[in-house]
Amino acid sequence: MKPEKNLHPRSRLRSIGYSIEGCIQLVKLEPNAKIHALATVAVIIAGVIRKVGKYDWIALVFAIGLVWMTEALNTTIEMLCDLWCKGEYHPKVKIIKDIASAAVWIASMVSVAIAVFVFFF
């Protein structure tokens, strides 16, 4: 039986390439992603300097990933809304974008709390 085309290693590698390109586009297009990138580097440097333990690293990596995932989803939602509205204001789209933005803010606050626990307690 011939394996499905989408399970082929080349197809999987190509898919990873698209994901990496998406990360690059996120940082290029979204100003807040640049702030997240700086925060990510700062947290990693602080973790190395403070010699945090492996469980603290797990928490920090989870927090960093949480913020990046929500930022990527928020940016996607905003772009889809803008594409759908074609530049025109729509009150429901504003609510959708505000809620998506709130998800990033919540993830950021949870991440700050995790960092406080890791670095100060």
What is the fold, at CATH topology level, of the domain defined by 31-120?
Answer: Helix Hairpins (1.10.287)
Residues in the chain: 121
Model confidence band, residue 12 (pLDDT cutoffs 50, 70, 90) = confident
pTM assigned to the model: 0.87
Residue spans per domain, the chain: 31-120
pLDDT digits (tens, 9 = 90+) for 69-80: 999 999 999 999
Structure token digits, residue 84: 């759908």
Exposed / middle / buried, residue 43 (Cβ in 10 Å: 0-12, 13-18, 19+) = buried
